[in-house]
Amino acid sequence: MAIADKKVAFLLTRGVEEVELTGPLSAVRGAGAQAVIVSPWDDGPLTALNSDWHKGEDFEVDVPVIAAKAEDYDMLVMPGGTLNVDNLRTSAPAVEFVKAFFEAGKPVAAICHAPWMLAEAKLAQGRTLTSYHSIKQDLLNAGANWVDQELVRDGNLITSRSPDDLAVFDKAIVQELESLG
């Protein structure tokens, strides 16, 4: 299957950290794959934030999470943003969507605060990962092996710490897509 045949779900809500969405979106689209925004919020555009405070661009939802199925996608990308991920953690359909990717053994990439979803979905146990430093303890409490590195791969899971690591994170996403059969 060519990279042009790949379909990547981006799971987010309002308050997504803009560069953590636009960087990976551009990388995926630039590689020729299809990027699809999936969200529990389907009643209008999602407003991104910059540094959790400043209003950014608006993004349209392509598929409501209740209608999305992991089997329709080759990979899941979860951008961060404190408000974004805190909202996602309270959405049972979003948590189930994430779980479905792991159950299917499909690649999942999460940056900054997005690994919080792994704790919520009870998927952090025994995983080596990284995240923004402020959620380190939450991930340790969920049983993760947290490390302070710009990029960590653990099986089908790719994690990064912050927007400072986006170049490496974006490259890892594209490499993962290229490696899929």
- C-alpha 95: how far from chain center: 12
Tokens of 155: 């099986």
pLDDT 10s digits, 128-157: 999 999 999 999 999 999 999 999 999 999
Active site residues per annotation? 112-113
Domain with residue 43: its CATH number is: 3.40.50.880
pLDDT at 95 over 70: yes
Is the separation of the CB atoms in 51 and 112 below 8 Å?
no
Where does 2-155 show beta strands of DSSP type E?
A: 7-11, 34-39, 46-50, 54-59, 63-64, 75-78, 108-111, 128-129, 145-146, 151-154
What is the reported pLDDT for 41?
A: 86
What is the reported pLDDT for 160?
A: 98
pLDDT 10s digits, 22-31: 999 999 999 9
User: Cα separation of 32 and 80, whole Å?
Assistant: 23
What is the reported pLDDT for 170?
A: 98
Residue 124 is part of which domain span? 3-179
pLDDT 10s digits, 29-84: 999 999 999 999 877 799 999 998 999 999 999 999 999 999 999 999 999 999 99
The domain total for the chain is 1
Q: Mean pLDDT over all residues of the chain?
A: 96
User: Cα separation of 66 and 70, whole Å?
Assistant: 11
- C-alpha 129: how far from chain center: 13
Share of the chain above pLDDT 90, in %: 95
- C-alpha 91: how far from chain center: 15
What is the reported pLDDT for 23?
A: 98
Full-model pTM: 0.97
User: Cα separation of 164 and 166, whole Å?
Assistant: 6
